[in-house]
Structure 1
Amino acid sequence: MLPDNIIGWLVVGLVAGALGKLIMPGRDPGGLIVTILLGVLGALLAYYLAPLVGLETVRTNPSWTNTIIASTVGALILLILYRLVVARR
């Protein structure tokens, strides 16, 4: 599921982070770099959490579609956690 080079990481991060921010709009900080980091961290989160919830296909069928979908879900989880932490301040 994970990209095997830096360009792949940047593309997955940009697409997943942008989709995450598009699905869940709001006043989140950051521009392009934060969006890419959000997507990359979402990809890592999805890679390690998907098998725990019974979604082995993320690791066993590493297509770009599965990668982008899982990374976007991971980015959404991170956005939700960010907003929960910021709302408590």
Structure 2
Amino acid sequence: MEISGIISAIVIGIIIGVLGRLVVPGRQHIGVIWTIVIGIIAALIGAAIASALGVDDTKGVDWIEWLIQIALAAVGVAALDRAKSPAR
């Protein structure tokens, strides 16, 4: 992977992670780095899922792919928050 691919993955991961975090209600007990990591992972997995479903090759913005990635990021943020938060 080239440096431009790594930088774009980080930028997309930040955006996906933040959007996923905004979808989850309440306060999350995870840091910014974990949000970025979850966003990058969600972006990669979401792109693979969108490709498998055949919804990743549109002439404009790939809204369905973005929705899949944001949903995966929200699930990841909620799961990590639940694992890291003290017992309720």
Asked if these proteins are the same fold (TM beyond 0.5), I'd say yes
TM (norm. structure 1) is 0.64
Distance, in Å, in 1 between the alignment partners of 2:60 and 2:12 is: 12
Percent of paired sites with the same residue: 24
Q: CA deviation at 1:11?
A: 1.0
Which runs of 4 or more aligned residues in structure 1 lie more than 4 Å from their structure 2 counterparts after TM superposition?
62-65, 83-87
Change (3 A) 1:49 1:81: farther
The Cα RMSD (Å) is 2.8
Change (3 A) 1:85 1:75: same
Which structure 2 segments of 5+ residues have no match? none
Matched, 1:77 2:75: yes
Query: Is the radius of gyration larger for structure 1 or structure 2?
Result: 2
Would you say the 8 A contact 1:19–1:72 is kept in 2?
A: yes
Count of aligned positions: 80
Which structure 1 segments of 5+ residues have no match? none
Matched, 1:40 2:40: yes
TM (norm. structure 2) is 0.64
